[in-house]
Amino acid sequence: MAKPITVVVTGAAGQIAYSLLYQLAAGSVFGEDQPIDLRLLDIPPMMGVLEGVIFKVQGEALDKFAKKDVKVLVVGNPANTNALICSHYAPSIPKENFTAMTRLDQNRAQAALASRIGVSVDKVKNVIIWGNHSSTQYPDAAHATVDKDCVAHPVSKAINDDAWLNGEFVETIQKRGAAVIAARKMSSAMSAAKAAGDHMRDWWFGTKSNQFVSMGVVSDGSYGIPKDVVFSLPVTIKDKKYTIVQVNLYLPLLKEFHPI
């Protein structure tokens, strides 16, 4: 039997954690044969003035108690900023071990493209989310492909509607979170939990050949993004380490970046 790994879920009483825990317990994230030592943490209600430093406290705790190869996924918004804060207060842990979740946006973008083309979501690959998990993000289908008859075709050709791809599609993904909250009066917890599971599963097992995923990672200066800010970029993953994909891109309509 494999050696157990410790999995810590903070905010464990929240909606997203509630939907995530079954994935962890069922083996959907780290594999059916991987034992886990599941630790659930939460805090008493805090005064509003303290809410901005919760991730400072978590960073300090990680720095003091966690293994130095710990892999951290920040979901709580603003996820990019919170990941940066958490990393800052855990200086003994490599910065590349801290990530922010934009997989929810990637999943939404894939679903929108698949619906437009008329295929199942798993047929659409290599959609990129640039930037933040916020309305400033840029969902990019320029390098996305769709599998038809066992052949990968460019999504742009399959849809054949640049106006939709550069307009309605982008705006819909950028505003999807707000639309869900407006409709449900709460966030899309199950979708977010599914995305968190997807993110960690790929980080654990690696990405498939010729496929990349979007993760909020510490910038190395690629694509002109300032170094050391957390920014969603396309990555491939092997042996639990991600590599930023260097694709030859021109980003239409993206007039300014909002790194943190």
Which of 133, 143, 199, 258 is the catalytic position? 133
Nearest Cα to Cα of residue 202 among 170, 244, 151, 236:
236
| 133 counts as catalytic | yes
Please list the helix, strand and coil fractions of the chain in percent, rounded to the nearest 5, in that order: 40, 20, 40
Phi, psi at 223, each rounded to 5°: 60, 20
Contact 228, 210 (CB under 8 A): no
H or E stretch at 63: helix 54-65
Residue positions in the annotated binding site? 75-77
Distance from first CA to last CA of the chain, Å, rounded? 42
Q: How far apart are CA 89 and CA 68, in angstroms?
A: 13
Spell out where 132-229 has E strands.
Answer: 138-140, 145-148, 151-154, 213-218
Q: Give the position of tokens 């293994």.
A: 67
Q: How far apart are CA 135 and CA 112, in angstroms?
A: 17
Q: How far apart are CA 13 and CA 15, in angstroms?
A: 7
Residue positions in the annotated binding site for NAD(+)? 75-77
Write out the catalytic residue numbers: 133
